[in-house]
Amino acid sequence: MKYSLFISIMLVTAINRLEAKTNRPPDALVALSKKLTALQTISFQFYREINNPDNNYFNTFTGSCYIEFNQTDKQTVSRYRMECDSYISVYNGSEDFFLDKKLKTYSQRAQPKQRSFSTQTFFLNSIQTLRSVIQQWVQSDSMLMFERDTLIQNKSYKLVQVNKRQYPLEYLNNFDKMDPLPDSVTLFYSIIIDPETGLPYQVLQTSNRYSSSFKTVFTNVNTRPAEPEADSWFCSTYQKEYQPRKKENRQLIASGAVMMPVWSMREYNGKDTPVFSSSAVTGKLVLYDFWIKGCGPCMASFPIQQRLQKTYGGDHFQLLSVNTVDKKEDISFFYKREQPLYKMLYEGEAMAKELGIDSYPTLILADKTGKVIYAGHNYEKVEELIKTNL
């Protein structure tokens, strides 16, 4: 699905010319709030684009949604059914289940908490997420909000911008596992409202500090859609075709008497990709930092890695940055950007599995004999152990 560059140009132009209305919410936002709150059901197709050039990341995602809304609290969903090329996700009011169309497996949860839906990728900057928070936005006197008319392909739209601090837009404001953003960061949510439906056509998230952007476009919006077939709401319907998903239970390697395995991986050094083996760091205190490119905390850890190698590196300490799944071209991008003093290795997926790593970044510190003395995610604790063991 392609969208004209003209749309983006017009949007940026409109944003730059917005006029503030700080004493009350923009009329267009109030109208959108009433429209969203009144929704009973909706179906739509969506296109999502995540673009993060600083971290060499670009991803698109498309799918279709059918949603029924809670008419009592005017915030939550009562039921939903979402489908894309690779999976189907369903919540029927008492359970949710996930069907992997390629692997032909399913997983299900009984009585899931509403706030847990915020982790579903199709809830990101979505119509249902906007509905869950927009009443609070309208009542807020602490957020800057703007509105303006704009043109997209000769069609008039309303553009509303909401500036948010501390936390991003989340379904039901689910910030439980989030750290607040730095005070210097403001997130800009530009909502383009379709005059024919009174509902969002596009939500664009940018910021004053980061180059990344998140764009979601809604098409074929129907507020009186046909309900999916009754059997499609129940996991039991699919259990002849789909098998239960076997959960991989990885246990992170324990510190203490456990020794690091013998290993070999590719090193990217800016010129070629020689094999780099565990024998090359024998007798050294070694910090393994496992990462992948689509991970925000991993990106934030690069300066820490550089500082640790610069401070403690030499004959007795070596930091190894280990990428597990990304391509050589991705490693080249980060090597050129970071100019690392440490070793940058890749093709580390097998080693990560052997060590029980299932989240990133993960740190493994091994002493000079190869014994694991730390496994976890705390850089401050790791640095204290480096000082102690050098």
pLDDT tens digits, residue range 251-273?
888 888 799 999 999 999 999 89
| pLDDT score at 5 | 38
Crossing angle of the two packed helices 27-38 and 127-139, in degrees rounded to 10: 130
For residues 211 and 222, give the distance between their C-alpha atoms in angstroms, rounded to a whole number: 33
Query: Is 12 a residue whose pLDDT tops 70?
Result: no
For residues 253 and 150, give the distance between their C-alpha atoms in angstroms, rounded to a whole number: 56
Peptide bond preceding 261 in cis form (omega within 30 of 0): no
Supply the DSSP string of 23-50, one letter for each residue: SS--HHHHHHHHHHHH-SEEEEEEEEEE
Phi first, then psi, for residue 271 (nearest 5°) are -120, -50
What percentage of the chain carries pLDDT values higher than 70? 94
Cβ pair 163, 209 in contact under 8 A = no
For residues 231 and 228, give the distance between their C-alpha atoms in angstroms, rounded to a whole number: 8
pLDDT tens digits, residue range 170-219?
999 988 777 898 999 999 999 999 999 999 999 999 999 999 999 999 99
What percentage of the chain carries pLDDT values higher than 90? 86
Cβ pair 24, 183 in contact under 8 A = no
Confidence grade of residue 247 (pLDDT, cut at 50, 70, 90): confident
For residues 112 and 104, give the distance between their C-alpha atoms in angstroms, rounded to a whole number: 22
Confidence grade of residue 110 (pLDDT, cut at 50, 70, 90): very high
Query: Is 24 a residue whose pLDDT tops 90?
Result: no
Q: Tell me the residue type at 78.
A: S
Confidence grade of residue 1 (pLDDT, cut at 50, 70, 90): very low
Query: Is 21 a residue whose pLDDT tops 60?
Result: no
Place of tokens 């939903």: 80
| pLDDT score at 225 | 98
For residues 331 and 40, give the distance between their C-alpha atoms in angstroms, rounded to a whole number: 48
pLDDT tens digits, residue range 326-379?
999 999 999 999 999 999 999 999 999 999 999 999 999 999 999 999 999 999
Mean pLDDT over the full length of the chain:
92
Query: Is 22 a residue whose pLDDT tops 70?
Result: no
Pairing of strands 343-346, 317-323: parallel
| pLDDT score at 20 | 47
Supply the DSSP string of 151-193, one letter for each residue: EETTEEEEEEEEEE-SS---GGG--TT-PPPPTT--EEEEEEE
Cβ pair 297, 379 in contact under 8 A = no
pLDDT tens digits, residue range 288-329?
999 999 898 999 999 999 999 999 999 999 999 999 999 999
| pLDDT score at 19 | 46
Torsion, Cα 11 49 137 196, to 10 degrees, reads 60
Question: All domains of the chain, ordered by start, with CATH?
Answer: 5-244 (2.50.20.10), 264-389 (3.40.30.10)
* pTM of the entire predicted model: 0.83
Torsion, Cα 100 330 306 291, to 10 degrees, reads 10
Taking alpha carbons only, the member of 312, 319, 311, 325 closest to residue 363 is 319
